[in-house]
Amino acid sequence: MMIDAFRRMPPHQKLQKIDDLTRGIQEMALIGLRSRHPEADEAELRMRLAALWIDRETLQKAYGWSPEAGG
């Protein structure tokens, strides 16, 4: 039923659902990161979140940041 409902949705609604799900996943990931790194500030947490999606080499080149160094 859910797949059929998704097929009938207009494209803008599908994109909104995907955006909502992505944001929810990111929020859950941030909760886990906060529990594993309680000393981290928001900037470090955002970098650690990015590290979950961006490969290490690109992260270091683009942001000069490494998860091992913590900033």
Residue 49 belongs to a domain: yes
Residue 26 domain-assigned (yes or no): no
Number of domains in the chain: 1
pLDDT of residue 48: 93
Name the DSSP class of 14: H
pLDDT value at residue 71? 54
Distance CA 67, CA 71 (A): 7
pLDDT digits (tens, 9 = 90+) for 5-64: 989 999 999 999 999 999 999 999 999 999 999 999 999 999 999 999 999 899 899 988
Q: Confirm whether 6 is domain-assigned.
A: no
Q: How far apart are CA 54 and CA 3, in angstroms?
A: 30
H/E stretch holding 54 reads: none
Backbone φ and ψ of 26, nearest 5°? -65, -40
Q: Tell me if 9 is assigned to some domain.
A: no
Under the banding of pLDDT at 50, 70 and 90, the label for residue 67 is confident
Task: Classify residue 47: in a domain, yes or no.
Answer: yes
Terminal C-alpha separation, the chain: 46
Q: At what angle do helices 11-36 and 42-53 cross, to 10 degrees?
A: 120
